[in-house]
A and B are shown apart, each in its own frame.
Chain A
Amino acid sequence: MKTSDDKWAKRESRTKVFYTFVGILFISITIYILVALQSLILPVIIGMLSAYLCVPLLARFRRNGIPQWLGILILFGGFILVVFILARQVTQLIPNEREQLELRTSIMNKANERYMLYYGLSEPGGTGNFLHELIGSETDPMMDSFNTAIMLSESERELFESIYVLEDLSQPELGRIWRQYQMNLNQFFYAEPEVRVIDRMLADADLEEEEEDYVDEANRSLIAVIINIISIWLVMPVVFLFLLVDDGKLSKNLIGLVPNNYFEMALTTLANVDRAIGNYLRGTLIESLLMSVTIWFLLVLIGFDTGPAIILGLISGLANAIPFFGSVIGLVICAAYALIMDDVNSVLPFITVENLILATAVVIFISQAIDNAVYKPFVLGKAVDLHPIIVFIGAIGGSIMFGFLGLLFAIPVIVIVKEIYGTLHQQLRDYFIIY
């Protein structure tokens, strides 16, 4: 009997060593892969989240008698269509070299026009109104930095002038941009009203050379960058399709690795986490779409054109998924567009080009109020119950690591990790594994 117990004990200790070794190896390899394939993380996450959102739709298809393969085909087709339309819209939104120069010229001109208008300045260096006296000394250097950053460099000015020499400047649109360009050349600093922005830039020749080198380098590698981005993002539909076809086999195989003691606990944890994350993601998506529609409608109401309002609404609605930062992102994007608008066709008679930025801020404020009072309580419930500090650090960390998309996906990832930990802890207690 004693020999049998010894054998059993030895076997048990060997099993523990085996699982520990395999566990450490698995974690090490996972960390290595995550670091090595960092650029693939976001496409994989987006593909996974999209598949996650589509799984209930697939179940509904099957319930209505649509075969699994046809359901997958419909969803995959829809996914590719959405990705294609979005990619097309995004590429259309990216201006070409000429459009970029015109846009920067226009933004610089409009920004200075509005700046002087709001501060009651007739020229840089003037006294202005009460508001300028109050905070002008703080904002003038900021505006000067903005002007220095957005002003066309020497090579860009040469290119701009070479294009416009051949153009018919009697056309209203071209004539307007040319006039704006000329006005920008005569733009003075606000903090140093005797110095023109362009003079300072010419004097700082070294800096300009560096800038040119950077622009040249960026232009040279543009095609390589695009090919690289496309090849990386091809992973997304593959992950999406794989997870839809998988039909739970992956989780079944993972459960197969779990020791018998933890079998039921692992099943319950997986199901609870699956339900909670599914609810959160679907709730967030619905909330974002509702916010997109709300912002679009309100922007059109204050005089934005329908096309740009749809895009601004979509971006702001999507960004709204980020607590705290989302509304700021929406406000900045919409206000930036309001800044370069030339005319306003609002149904509300008191909204003009001059007070459009204020109206945009009111739109974002109203949409946030509707979101907090109506959408969040009804659609999302208490799915996101994160401490503000965690949200803040998570969002900043995500943006440092992966840029805007990192900012967007940091909170869902934190919610997922929190849900896994919370459920696992509860289940370990329910199954008397821990106290």
Chain B
Amino acid sequence: MNSITTTRKAIQSGETTAKEVTENCFNLISQEPFNAFHEMWNDEKQAYLEGPLSGITVGVKDNIVTKVGTTTCGSKMLDGYRSPFNATVIDRLIASGATLVGKTNCDEFAMGSSTEHCAWGAVQNPWSTDRVPGGSSGGSAAAVAAGLCHVALGSDTGGSIRQPAALCGIVGYKPTYGLVSRYGLVAFASSLDQIGVFSRCVRDAAITTEVIAGFDPNDATSVEEEAPCLVESLDDSIAGIKIGVTRDFLTDRNDPEVNQAIEDAIKVYEQLGATIVDVSLPLTDVGVSTYYVIAPAEASSNLARYDGIRYGHRTDKVGLDLFDLYSHSRAEGFGDEVKRRILLGTYVLSSGYYDAYYNNALKVRRLISEEYASAFEQCDVILGPTTPTPAFKIGAKSNPISMYLCDVYTANTNIAGICGISIPCGFAKNDGKPLPIGMHLQGPAFSDAKLLQIAHAFEQATDFHNQHPEPIS
């Protein structure tokens, strides 16, 4: 799969056509063995609008609503659900000429770090099919890693774009909260959710995000500013840029190969003229705990809408009163992880526990946000690993806590509402098969252009992003 820039040049020079490019993608998707896609939309009558993304193929996570096809959130609750409207990001992609190729599988309602908790089956990592692609946007990550489409949309609530990007060896970018409209993203935890892009290079993430970003009156939390210029400054020198490194990220909870890859990445930045500064983020350790109070609390409220009345699954049981109709429809429609989080969230919001759990977590949230603010007084971005380990085996994390700890380095980005990106920075050896390692860069809110510039500089100086799993045909 070529980059957006290369593909656009080939189309503009007449070397190929948008139709040929997209048909090639559909051909690959129709035979992909990873369960990355839930649906493929090969529209024979596709118009191929002229625009910056004409001929560019985009996979869409199954929790972003589209008028074409279904939107199921990987849940039996929404099996066959057809949205009567498009998410704002979808309308903007269509207007830019992009071809939406289909819906990618995800953990149910975006709750998970492995894409095993999907009603339509687990997704496999294209680098090693007995391993997970990460989650919750695992289908989007696997699709881009396997070269099935140019880019894919994901959503990131605590790491759900960056963590699977790391595990699949691609770029995963979570923009600053408020930069990209959430209108039409099925809500999980509204103060944390953010739509973002998977791609094979930083430039493709920047190009696609320029298309989808910008104020949207339909999202009351989108910022009232012009869409940012992200591409223009990508090639600027990073000499003199300050990169924060913290020992709080390079602990023995990480695989040694992960720590080594990050140490090597730091040296690359030094060679590029960046200054490395030590910063301290001691609250890293309580990020996951804070997250697992706030996110389930918001989820228990957001998912109350699935009542079996207006849309979604309704139980077949007869003779139930309204209370039991709700309770049985929800018990049948939701999977185990979603139920667990609804229970957890309802508990921390319930009378007698609200202050001890929910309100206290919101106070810690402010401390985390302030801790970042003081770190960013000393540096432009903070560098560390995206995940403690490379991709793990399917079925390996049966205990909820061990799964939740996959987000130890990513959850705080959402808690503070800042921007973050994972880019490939190395490989671990696994029975002869390489497994990708991701580097995580975080920047202050609305410093997205600089974040991408710094990520791009590393990419240009290294070759990790050019390595791909074996092609499927």
* A associates with B: no
Contact residues of A with B, CB < 8 Å?
Answer: none
